[in-house]
């Protein structure tokens, strides 16, 4: 059975991991490569780097961060934030990203989704949607949650799918950084409307929140940042909790025969 994925998000600014509350008031959390290494050991399923203040000038710095993280892990790596053009996406892929996440750029020019899907395959194209409930509809926001668009998250997710997106990364702006739980209604509305995986983001605070978003929220994956960064909860403990709840997860360290003479290999560092 396909496991529910636990994804760690590294919000990076100037090469350091930060994490905001409602996208503002960014807190320092450390070295992206060191965090990635720890998450890998704990059994994280995937890592997302979001360069929250990425600019065109920052492309080279971003490439260094991507390469440093990619060096630490043999896991899927997605990069978002500041991917505005095909060239930005190519630079991220070249540096070691397996997927790129498009947000504002896809809204401004939806054909970019198709362009990248043709070049790298749909599995490499994630469309990130930031949304909040507004008068009974899930309004799509841009510019780090500051500007509302006329788009509806469900319809935009469908259109993105048709244009070639391979996954949707759905963030609840209202829940982001609050640790009050994922927006399960929002996640289920989008997840049920598309036939591609939906990653829920925003609001993770407890293990119970993850169980909720995988059941009532119909999420295929759940992303969190701060609850992992500050050692509040380990990925391993979270997976043990979900496993107890009969939610399919990849348990760390179960892949090889325990105690086999030929122990699993580890990458050489340095």
Interface contacts to other proteins, rule CB under 8 A: 1-5, 40, 45, 70-71, 74-76, 93-94, 96, 98, 120-124, 154-155, 158-159, 162, 166-167, 189, 191-197, 218, 220-221, 250, 253-257, 260, 262, 264-268
Q: Long-range contact list for 29-33, CB < 8 A, 24+ apart? A: 29/225, 29/226, 29/229, 29/230, 30/229, 32/65, 32/68, 32/69, 33/68, 33/69, 33/71, 33/72
Minimum distance of other proteins from residue 7's CB (angstroms): 10
H-run or E-run covering 155: helix 153-163
Q: Which residues pair with 145 in a beta bridge?
A: none
Minimum distance of other proteins from residue 190's CB (angstroms): 10
Closer residue to other proteins, CB minimum distance, 1 or 231: 1
Q: Which residues pair with 125 in a beta bridge?
A: 100
Closer residue to other proteins, CB minimum distance, 26 or 251: 251
d(CA 96, CA 92): 7
Minimum distance of other proteins from residue 76's CB (angstroms): 5
- Find out whether 170 and 201 touch, Cβ atoms under 8 Å: yes
Minimum distance of other proteins from residue 83's CB (angstroms): 15
Closer residue to other proteins, CB minimum distance, 105 or 126: 126
Given the residues 51, 130, 176, 183, select the one marked as catalytic.
130
Q: Is 31 a catalytic site residue?
A: no
Residue written as token pair 């409307």: 193
Closer residue to other proteins, CB minimum distance, 111 or 123: 123
Given the residues 11, 51, 88, 220, select the one marked as catalytic.
11
d(CA 73, CA 54): 23
Q: Is 98 a catalytic site residue?
A: no
- Catalytic residue numbers, as ranges: 11, 130
């Amino acid at each position: 059975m396909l496991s529910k994925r636990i994804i760690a998000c590294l919000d990076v600014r100037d090469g350091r991991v930060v994490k905001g509350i409602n996208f503002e008031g960014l807190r320092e959390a450390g070295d992206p490569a060191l965090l990635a290494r720890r998450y890998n050991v704990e059994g994280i399923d995937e890592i997302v780097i979001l360069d929250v203040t990425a600019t065109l000038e920052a492309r080279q710095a971003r490439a260094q961060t991507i390469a440093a993280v990619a060096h630490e892990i043999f896991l899927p790596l997605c990069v978002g934030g500041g991917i505005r053009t095909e060239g930005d996406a190519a630079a991220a892929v070249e540096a070691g990203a397996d997927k790129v996440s498009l947000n504002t750029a896809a809204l401004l020019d939806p054909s970019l989704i198709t362009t990248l899907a043709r070049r790298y395959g749909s599995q490499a194209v994630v469309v990130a949607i930031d949304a909040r409930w507004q008068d009974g509809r899930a309004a799509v926001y841009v510019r780090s949650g500051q500007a509302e668009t006329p788009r509806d998250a469900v319809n935009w997710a469908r259109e993105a799918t048709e244009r070639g997106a391979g996954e949707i990364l759905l963030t609840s702006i209202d829940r982001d950084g609050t640790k009050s739980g994922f927006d399960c209604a929002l996640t289920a509305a989008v997840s049920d409307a598309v036939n591609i995986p939906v990653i829920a983001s925003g609001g993770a605070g407890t293990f119970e929140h993850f169980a909720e978003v995988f059941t009532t929220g119909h999420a295929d994956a759940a992303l969190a940042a701060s609850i992992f960064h500050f050692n509040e909860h380990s990925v391993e403990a979270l997976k043990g909790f979900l496993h107890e709840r009969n939610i399919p997860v990849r348990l760390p360290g179960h892949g090889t025969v325990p105690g086999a003479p030929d122990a699993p290999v580890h990458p050489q560092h340095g």
